[in-house]
Amino acid sequence: MEPIVVPKGLDGVIVDDSAICTADSDNGTLIYRGYSAVELAEKASFEQTAYLIVYGKLPGRNELAEFSQFLKKNEEPDSNTKKIMALINKDTAVIDLMRSVVSLVPTNETKQDRVLLEIAAKMPHIAADGYRLINGAAPLPSISGTYAERFYYQLTGKNDAEAAKYLEKLLILYMEHEMNASTFALRVTASTLADPRAALTTALATIKGPLHGGANDQILNYIVKMDTKDEAVKFVDDRLARKEKIMGFGHRIYKKVDPRAQFMKKELDALSRLKHTEKLYDIAAAIEETVWDRKKLPANLDFYAALIMHLLGIDHVFYTPIFASSRSFGWAAHYLEQVGNNKLIRPDSRYIGPTGLKLR
């Protein structure tokens, strides 16, 4: 077969069919299994959305109860895993700890969907328990409540249902985004028929990069230091004059508007009023307006997510782990879809190196 030359980075290349998710760059929409992701964030729970992503339909009452109970039952790592986490170097990034632990964490299930969900259920505890253990602190106990309420407690030590609702909406919007870098990496691994643990480890390694999931904790570095909108405008102009990237702007798919970012912008407005920190919202909005005016780059989800998490009192070390924990349910769906209609993913490359060299 004649080779097909595609754009570098596979930009604009369709590599497979998927029924899980689609993003529309022209209309600025994101669809999960036929439903608007923004509407799900507004009206559905995390558990309902996760079930939808993995199984392709919204759960009935009994299905939701069983699914929610499964996540609760499997959220804590076993005692041996905690012992291993306590031995990890305290300078290790939490996302690196998660990658290492997921690669070896034991599971009780045998069916692929249940194995994937069992590991996904543990992600919040792996992140929070691991961070505390490597810093010489004891893990927090599990509490009752929704997935988001339990996750928020593990992150902050606060049992706050109102704050957890803001986190829940963010988690829903982080859950899935079609063939992004970590998902594609996971599907490559899955296509070799490697087990779910190996595929999830691949995805966790990929999501760390600053061009994917590792950028959100950098956004605070510049915003929290500003006091006025004028400073925000000057910051943007100075960065652009030096041809430096402004984290939180631009997206491979969304060229005009990221619907997730605009939804969370409204949530930030409400939360900043609740916290009496309207200045933070005003500065963020000024940065967004200036970047769009100067470069026509839209704010992406990470931009407003970082500010939401900051106001919720979540330590920046957890920002990428939060992204990964939510996305693990999307990864589960993609693993199942890949192995359900599998072909080994093995592209070619065009050799541009020397030939004909001889040993002397």
Active site residues: 251, 302
Question: Long-range pairs for 52-56 at CB < 8 Å and ≥24 separation?
Answer: 53/20, 53/21, 53/175, 53/176, 53/329, 53/330, 53/332, 53/333, 54/113, 54/116, 54/117, 54/329, 54/332, 54/333, 54/336, 55/113, 56/19
Task: Determine the residue type at 307.
Answer: L
What's the token pair of residue 74? Answer: 């499997």
Alpha-carbon distance 217 to 223, whole Å?
Answer: 11
Strand partners, 202: none
Strand partners, 23: 30
Residues in Cβ contact with 65 at an 8 Å cutoff, skipping those fewer than 6 apart? none
What's the token pair of residue 162? Answer: 């109102």
